[in-house]
Structure 1
Amino acid sequence: MSPSHPHVVHAEDLPWTDVAHGSRVALKRKQLGAAAHGRKLGCSLVELPPGRRSWPLHYHLGNEEAVYVLSGSGSLRLGTETVPLREGDYVALPPGAECAHQLLNDGPEPLRYLCFSTMEAPDVLVYPDSKKVGVFAGAAPGGDKAARTLHAYLPLASEVDYWDGEGP
């Protein structure tokens, strides 16, 4: 039976969205927070198949994330460490480079977890492996794309001087 209030959703009533890139990154997710019309807190149910990774290694400068493992096991790249994860583990991921993170399913079964995030805009994401930065304004990453006023991924090496391009 489906919930009868717009702020209540049942995970089984929502479709999975597949996210994949290349042979290493693949997951499926249900954006529970968005479906329940959340504004300042996002929550996604994520399933990561064996042998796959989640999003590229990244950290936020504005938003905080958290992960709660529902089932399965895997590893978490966290800063410069790799930490084993299993059912029942909770991970706090405050903004900043020390909490750069990426989940890996190195276990034999799907890794299922809840991913929570504050949904503040603007936000800046840094991707240490690929040396790029993502900039979001109007809506946070994972938020309402129609409300987004700026969204760009740029190489960190593309820095220019403050006055470049300005007239006399």
Structure 2
Amino acid sequence: MIIHPEDVPEYTTTVYPEPFKNVVAGRIKQRLGSFAGLKNFGVNLTKLAPGSASALRHWHSSQDEFIYVLTGEITLITDEGEQILTPGMAAAFPAGEANGHHLVNRSGAVATYLEIGDKTPGDIATYPDDDLMAIENSGSWVLTRKNGQPYANESK
């Protein structure tokens, strides 16, 4: 199937509850893989506005992630520190490797990248810097505090 990105809907929503939603304000995704009918892994074309982040810093117990920078400049933040990524650079995050990571656009221009990840059921996302955890449950994410308590209607 041939995909024209202009035909794929953009979305800016997030599963993050308050007070975390503002971290990804300015992130726009297009679910290219889902649009094409892929079921085993996802491919997103993602745009990050200046000042926006891809996600909260996290790592996955069961799901691999891979990103490839297309345009702009983004800062990759991991347990090892920070590294600037530019077009043509890629980064991989193997499942089960407890190395929290995310991307932040500290430049003055929009950056775009492809993000690719598998859809292994039962994955747990750990957020080392925040009181948050996410558990994959039948294709959706259940987000709670680290002690298991839900964020009760805090995202009104």
In the superposition, the TM-score normalised over structure 1's length comes to 0.77
Hey, what's the Cα distance between the residues in 2 that align with 1:158 and 1:10? 41
Hey, what's the Cα distance between the residues in 2 that align with 1:31 and 1:79? 28
**Cα separation, partners in 2 of 1:132 and 1:14, compared to 1, 3 Å:** same
Report how far residue 134 of structure 1 moved. Answer: 0.9
2:75 aligned partner: 75
Give the root-mean-square deviation of aligned CA atoms.
1.8
Matches within 5 A, 1:44-83: 44-83=44-83
Larger radius of gyration: 1
1:157 aligned partner: 147
Deviations 1:58-95 (A, max 9, x none): 11101000000000002011224111111111101112
Specify the code of the residue in structure 1 equivalent to 2:143.
Answer: Y
Deviations 1:94-141 (A, max 9, x none): 1235431111001121010000001111111111111321111222xx
User: Which ranges of 4 or more aligned residues in structure 1 deviate by more than 4 Å?
Assistant: none
Q: Which has the higher contact order (CA 8 A, sep 6+)?
A: 2
Gap regions ≥5 residues in structure 1: 1-6, 140-147, 160-168
Hey, what's the Cα distance between the residues in 2 that align with 1:122 and 1:157? 18
Report how far residue 158 of structure 1 moved. Answer: 4.2
SS at match of 1:156: coil
Name the one with the larger strand percent.
1
* Identical-pair percentage: 26
Q: 1:78–1:98: 8 Å Cα contact kept in structure 2?
A: no
SS at match of 1:12: helix
In the superposition, the TM-score normalised over structure 2's length comes to 0.83
SS at match of 1:67: strand
